[in-house]
C-alpha cells in the first residue's frame, strides 16, 4: 500500500502536497481547469514547462531566487516537483516590497501586489515560489492579450475596486 501524500494547501491552479519520496520537496498537482487551459494550447507538460522557464529567467534576471523545479509528464497531464522553501521571515513584507520595487519590473511588482504569499524569504534571500502564469495563459496563447498586459490591467482593476 502506498503512503498518502500530506496535503499542504491549494492555489487557483494546483493542490500542493509534501512529496512521498523526499520530504524536502513539494508536489503540485494541477486542478482540472488548469489542465484544460494548458491542453487547449497543446501538451500540458510542455506548456507548463515553458511558463516556468520564462518565469525563472525573469525572476533570476532581477535577483529573485526560484526553487529548484521539475516538471513530470503523467499521462496527458503533469506534476510539478519543487524544492520546498520555508518562510523564515528573514525579510519583512516591507523589505520584500522594497526589493521587488527596485527591480523596476511591472510584472514582478504586480505579482507581488496581487499575491505576496508567493514571495517567501529564506536565509535573507527572496524567493518566488509560484512560477506559473495562471489563467492569463489562455488569452496569451490565443495571441489576444499577452500575459504581462493582462496582469497590468488586472492590478489596475483590482486597485480601482479597492481589492488590493
Check pLDDT > 70 for residue 2: no
Q: Mean pLDDT in the chain?
A: 89
- Confidence (pTM): 0.86
- Read off the pLDDT band of 3 (50, 70, 90): low
**3-state SS, residue 156:** helix
Max Cα-Cα span within the chain: 52
Check pLDDT > 90 for residue 148: no
| CA neighbor of 35 nearest in space, from 24, 43, 27, 44 | 44
- What is the bridge-based pairing of β-strands 6-10 and 14-18? antiparallel
- Higher-confidence residue: 137 or 28? 28
pLDDT at 155: 78
How many angstroms separate the Cα of 90 from the Cα of each of 25, 123, 126, 140?
21, 6, 9, 36
- Read off the pLDDT band of 20 (50, 70, 90): very high
- Rounded to an integer, the average pLDDT of 14-24 is 94
d(C-alpha 5, C-alpha 37), whole Å = 25
Cell match 513584507: residue? 93
Per residue in 64-118, pLDDT (tens digit) is: 999 999 999 998 889 999 999 999 999 999 999 999 999 999 889 988 988 999 9
The answer to whether the beta carbons of residues 11 and 130 sit under 8 Å apart is: yes
Check pLDDT > 70 for residue 27: yes
- Read off the pLDDT band of 1 (50, 70, 90): very low
Please identify, in words, the CATH class of the domain defined by 6-160: alpha beta
Cα angle for residues 57, 61, 64 (degrees, 5° grid) = 90
- Read off the pLDDT band of 164 (50, 70, 90): low
d(C-alpha 5, C-alpha 84), whole Å = 15
Amino acid at each position: 500500500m502506498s503512503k498518502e501524500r500530506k496535503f499542504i494547501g491549494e492555489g487557483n491552479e494546483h493542490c500542493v502536497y509534501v512529496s512521498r519520496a523526499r520530504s524536502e520537496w513539494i508536489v503540485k498537482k494541477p486542478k482540472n481547469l488548469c489542465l484544460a487551459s494548458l491542453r487547449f494550447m497543446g501538451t500540458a507538460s510542455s506548456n507548463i514547462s515553458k511558463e516556468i522557464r520564462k518565469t525563472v529567467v525573469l525572476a533570476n534576471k532581477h535577483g529573485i531566487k526560484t526553487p529548484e523545479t521539475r516538471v513530470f509528464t503523467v499521462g496527458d497531464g503533469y506534476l510539478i516537483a519543487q524544492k520546498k522553501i520555508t518562510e523564515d521571515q528573514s525579510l519583512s513584507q516591507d523589505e520584500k516590497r522594497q526589493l521587488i520595487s527596485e527591480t523596476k519590473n511591472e510584472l514582478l511588482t504586480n505579482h507581488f501586489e496581487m499575491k505576496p504569499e508567493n514571495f517567501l524569504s529564506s536565509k535573507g534571500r527572496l524567493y518566488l515560489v509560484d512560477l506559473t502564469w495562471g489563467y492569463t495563459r489562455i488569452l496569451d496563447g490565443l495571441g489576444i492579450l499577452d500575459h504581462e498586459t493582462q496582469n497590468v490591467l488586472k492590478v489596475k482593476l483590482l486597485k480601482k475596486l479597492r481589492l488590493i
